[in-house]
Amino acid sequence: MKPSLAKGTRDFTAQEVSRRKYIINILQKNFELFGFQPLETPSFENLSTLTGKYGEEGDRLIFKILNSGEYASKVNQEDWDNKNHQKLISQISDKALRYDLTVPFARFVAMNHGKLTFPYKRYQIQPVWRADRPQKGRFREFYQCDADVVGSESLLQEVDLVQLYLKSFSDLKIPVTIHMNNRKILSGLAEYAGITDKLIEFTVALDKLDKIGKEGVVKELLEREISQESIDKLEFLFNQSDDALENLLQLKEKFADSEIGLKGVEELEFVLTQSLNLGVDMQNLVFNITLARGLDYYTGAIFEVKADEVAMGSIGGGGRYDNLTEVFGVKNIPGIGVSFGLDRVYLVMEELNLFPEEASTQVEYLFANFGGEGTVEALKLIMQLREKGISAELYPENAKLNKQFTYAEKKGIKNLVFLGEEEIKNGKVTFKDLAAGEQKTLSLEEFLG
């Protein structure tokens, strides 16, 4: 059988693993700096936990897990004959791989709310799975790095998460722009256009503006039975100025009769103003009125982060979700969270050549193997280096020196150490810096530092 990978998955080499760890370590450090605590949840959840939380399109992308045993024997023949897919799924699958980290987090909070101290701040760095079409920057298995706060309605949480985003991407040396909107503003737009009953259809179509353009959005709105008259009232959405506060002022006039719309404007204005007061450059924040993020559970602020110098989708996103735990029977636990897309962040850093040398795992010293007494002495010296936290290894066979040189060069080892009879006799160590091509002989004391 010819070995192959499942579509949308990848193997990671030593360098890739090291670079991913570099990103994760920076994010983890900042999460903890901002007061977030770690949490991990299972790779799969009950299917009922996940369905109905991501909208119609999201539900289709959930990876279902077949029940163990003779699952097919329990299928209702009538449902099979009529191709009743939803009923068939419920009969053959009751588990699914997690689609994101937010819904499992909400499930955790609902199950443990009596034991938690609110506001509860958690971060989570784990893989998620989506049955999506693989393409550049989009995989079926990928990591999310989330930070969420539940149990507080304060808009200062939004301001703090803006700071978290900017500091983390600054530490990673990635220039970014944070696009912001508010779902209440989108609800206000639906009221203004007379399509309140079509809010979900409206936001799902609007969220695709970057991918399908204005004409594509208009076409989809018409297909979703939204009238041309309503679409004409929303024409101004596609002609926004670069001044966020000016655009918000325009909305205040249009939302004169929309309480929820005005509330959204007020909330977004607060977050933008406070961020600017804290020294955030307005160029790093964009009020993107067409930003919808097609997840049904968002209720307030929504964020999307884009890299300034690389043509790619968002590398982070999130928002407020005040009602998510209600579906699990627990009310009045508002929440807000953001996510960093590890895989896309990696691709951006790779394209911009932002990984420092220390982001790659390299062995410091390879000891050449000459056999005999030198092997034992080399192993003793290797132990001393490792106790000092310095990576070292012995070439396993007494092979030709050219072969040992080749091994060191291909593996990216920095130095090749020669511990021959002369060095052992005189208490010395000879080593060659393979990058510089320089060779030195030092006493054992000097070598060990």
298 is in an annotated binding site: yes
| Count: domains in the chain | 2
pLDDT computed for residue 172 by the predictor: 98
Structure-token pair, residue 2: 């010819």
pLDDT computed for residue 88 by the predictor: 61
pTM metric for this prediction:
0.85
Q: What strands lie across the sheet with 415-418, from one edge to the other?
A: 392-394, 365-367, 415-418, 428-433, 438-443
Per cent of the chain over pLDDT 90 is 65
Domain coverage including residue 406: 362-448
Residues 436 and 310 in one domain: no
Residue 270 in domain: yes
144 is in an annotated binding site: yes
Residues 260 and 379 in one domain: no
Residues 256 and 209 in one domain: yes
Residue 83 in domain: no
pLDDT computed for residue 244 by the predictor: 82
Tell me the CATH number at 426. Answer: 3.40.50.800
Task: Tell whether the model's pLDDT for residue 414 goes beyond 80.
Answer: yes
Q: Which of 300, 330, 351 is the last residue of a domain?
A: 351
Q: How far apart are CA 49 and CA 325, in angstroms?
A: 11
Residue 8 in domain: no
Residues 191 and 312 in one domain: yes
Residues 420 and 330 in one domain: no
Residues 344 and 367 in one domain: no
Task: Tell whether the model's pLDDT for residue 83 goes beyond 60.
Answer: no
> For the ranges 35-39, 70-74, 335-339, which has the lowest average pLDDT?
70-74
Tell me the CATH number at 347. Answer: 3.30.930.10
- Yes or no: say if 301 and 314 are a contact pair by the CB < 8 Å rule: no
Task: Tell whether the model's pLDDT for residue 85 goes beyond 60.
Answer: no
Per cent of the chain over pLDDT 70 is 94
Q: Which of 325, 351, 377 is the last residue of a domain?
A: 351
pLDDT computed for residue 237 by the predictor: 83
Q: How far apart are CA 188 and CA 199, in angstroms?
A: 10
Mean pLDDT of the chain: 90
Residue 69 in domain: no
Instruction: Give residue-wise pLDDT tens across range 219-278.
Output: 988 888 888 988 888 888 888 877 887 888 889 989 988 999 999 999 999 999 999 999
Residues 39 and 168 in one domain: yes
Residues 26 and 160 in one domain: yes
Residue 58 in domain: no
Residue 5 in domain: no
Residue 61 in domain: no
How far lies 311's CA from each of 174, 292, 443, in Å?
13, 20, 53
Taking residues 31-36, report their average pLDDT.
98
Strands 44-46 and 95-97 turn out to be antiparallel
pLDDT computed for residue 379 by the predictor: 96
Residue 76 in domain: no
Taking residues 44-63, report their average pLDDT.
88
Task: Tell whether the model's pLDDT for residue 314 goes beyond 80.
Answer: yes
Considering just the CA atoms, what is the radius of gyration of the chain in Å? 28
Q: How far apart are CA 342 and CA 346, in angstroms?
A: 6
19 is in an annotated binding site: no
293 is in an annotated binding site: yes
- Helix (H) / strand (E) containing 285: strand 285-287
Instruction: Give residue-wise pLDDT tens across range 95-146.
Output: 999 999 989 999 999 999 999 999 999 999 999 999 988 887 688 999 999 9
Between 114 and 208, the more confident residue is 114
Residues 302 and 170 in one domain: yes
pLDDT computed for residue 54 by the predictor: 81
102 is in an annotated binding site: yes
Instruction: Give residue-wise pLDDT tens across range 182-203.
Output: 999 999 999 998 898 888 888 8
Structure-token pair, residue 307: 């890299």
- Yes or no: say if 134 and 140 are a contact pair by the CB < 8 Å rule: yes
Q: What strands lie across the sheet with 64-65, from one edge to the other?
A: 44-46, 95-97, 64-65
pLDDT computed for residue 203 by the predictor: 82
Residues 263 and 240 in one domain: yes
Burial letters 379-416, b for 16+ CB under 10 A, else e: eebbeebeeeeeebbbbeeeeeeeebbebbeeeebbbb
Confidence at 58, pLDDT banded by 50, 70, 90? confident
Estimate the crossing angle of helix 183-193 against helix 259-277, to 10 degrees: 150
232 is in an annotated binding site: no
Instruction: Give residue-wise pLDDT tens across range 368-413.
Output: 999 888 899 999 999 999 999 999 999 999 999 999 999 999 998 9
257 is in an annotated binding site: no
pLDDT computed for residue 23 by the predictor: 98
pLDDT computed for residue 296 by the predictor: 67
Residues 124 and 145 in one domain: yes
Q: How far apart are CA 152 and CA 156, in angstroms?
A: 9
pLDDT computed for residue 53 by the predictor: 81
pLDDT computed for residue 156 by the predictor: 97
Between 249 and 12, the more confident residue is 12
**Range ranked top by mean pLDDT from 15-19, 71-75, 190-194:** 15-19
Q: Which of 351, 379, 405 is the last residue of a domain?
A: 351
Residues 343 and 367 in one domain: no
Between 74 and 192, the more confident residue is 192
